[in-house]
Amino acid sequence: MIKVTELTKRYRDTVAVRELSFEVPAGVVTGFLGPNGSGKSTTMRMIMGLDRPDHGSITINGRSYHDLAHPLREVGALLEAKAIHPGRSAYHHLQYLAETNGIARRRIDEVLDMVGLAEVARRRVGKFSLGMGQRLGIASALLGDPGVLLFDEPVNGLDPEGILWVRNLLKGLAAEGRSVFVSSHLMSEMALTADRLVVIGRGALISEGSVDDFIADTTGSYVRVRGPRLDEIARALESNGASIEPDGDDALAVSGLDIVEIGEIAGERRLVLHELSPQAASLEEAFMSLTHDSVEYHGHATDVVVATGK
């Protein structure tokens, strides 16, 4: 498991990550979401001991990365698609990594098999397609059979078949009890893969918790109400504590009251309703609204931090 505490990273005049704290527990896929430039890759590099935080700490299974005697046996990472010398073969790339951490040779063949590169193992990586390069990166991450895995945008450049393969791989790794941390700026991808979410905007935490909680707590799921006398309906609901926003030209988006309460209130005042339907915003919409907030009201980003339920 990974524990990140009050992490801050500055690059000259940009604050890439600010006071970020979260956990990546074992046995589940934790999605790491944020718009472009929100600090996901920076955070992952700091977890891997590559970039030095200005403030805060990171532990992996209770220890700092620097103190891991055989880091590849504890943490595996796919950081960038092309962190591989194009002139070297896939096998040799894995071989030099294995040698540093005392990993047996036969493990190289195993991971090459696992990612489907066994046949091209001796070919130079420069000749690989984007997807093959990505698979080799994943093979490097799996090489030491680590309990903690990080993947930075692993489906980048993959075809639908490849995306499905990665998705199932991540779930499988988590099901084996590993901590799996995967970044993406695509909410839809995370909706299908992740159990938990860590959402950041402008380097700061916006939300941490289960995917279900995330939707429930942040979408402000609302009730769509239509009727001939919308103004009166709006006034009546507002006096009962609802907050109202127009939903298109002829409907209201009502939050703060559920459909039963809205129906009762309308009935009491003999207001005819043409529609009364609960609307669950999609994960995508939730993400958009959250990260939109983090851009618009960045000074208040902490206001929307969702309880993590630990």
Partner 1 sequence: MTTVALPPVHTSSAAAGRSRLWRSEWTKLRTVRSTWWTLFAMAVVTLGVAAIAGATVSHNWHTFNVAQRATFDPTGITLKGLLFSQLIIGVLGVLVMSAEYGTGTIRSTLAATPRRARVLAAKAVIVGTLSLVVGEALSFSAFLLGQGLLRSPAPHALLSQPGVTRAVLGGGVVIALLGLFALGLAAIVRHSAGAITTYVGVLLVVPIILQTLPSSFSQPILKFMPFHISDVMTSVVTAGQGSSLSPWAGAGVLGLYALAALGVGGYLLVRRDA
Q: Which residues make up the interface to partner 1 (CB under 8 A)?
A: 45, 48-52, 65-66, 68-73, 75, 77, 79-80, 82-89, 92-93, 95-97, 99-104, 107, 110, 114, 140, 142, 144-145, 169, 172-173, 176
- For residue 176, the partner it binds in ligand ATP, Mg ion, partner 1, none, with Cβ less than 5 to 8 A by kind, is partner 1
Please spell the DSSP secondary structure of 20-42, one letter per residue: EEEEE-TTSEEEEE--TTSSHHH
Contact positions vs ligand ATP (CB under 6 A): 11, 14, 16, 34, 36-42, 185
Q: Angle at Cα 43 formed by Cα 37 and Cα 55, nearest 5°? A: 115
Shortest Å distance, C-beta 41 to ligand ATP: 3
- For residue 14, the partner it binds in Mg ion, ligand ATP, partner 1, none, with Cβ less than 5 to 8 A by kind, is ligand ATP
Reference 159, options 181, 130, 116, 179; nearest CA is 130
- For residue 169, the partner it binds in partner 1, Mg ion, ligand ATP, none, with Cβ less than 5 to 8 A by kind, is partner 1
Among residues 38, 41, 134, 219, the one that binds Mg ion under rule CB under 5 A = 41
Residue 167 CA to residue 169 CA, distance in Å, equals 5
Shortest Å distance, C-beta 172 to partner 1: 6
Question: Looking at 67-218, which runs of residues are DSSP E strands?
Answer: 75-78, 148-152, 179-184, 196-201, 204-210
Q: Are 91 and 37 in contact (CB under 8 A)?
A: no
Query: Closer CB to ligand ATP, residue 37 or residue 263?
Result: 37
Shortest Å distance, C-beta 201 to partner 1: 23
Element (H or E) spanning 190, and its range?
helix 187-193
Query: Closer CB to partner 1, residue 71 or residue 227?
Result: 71
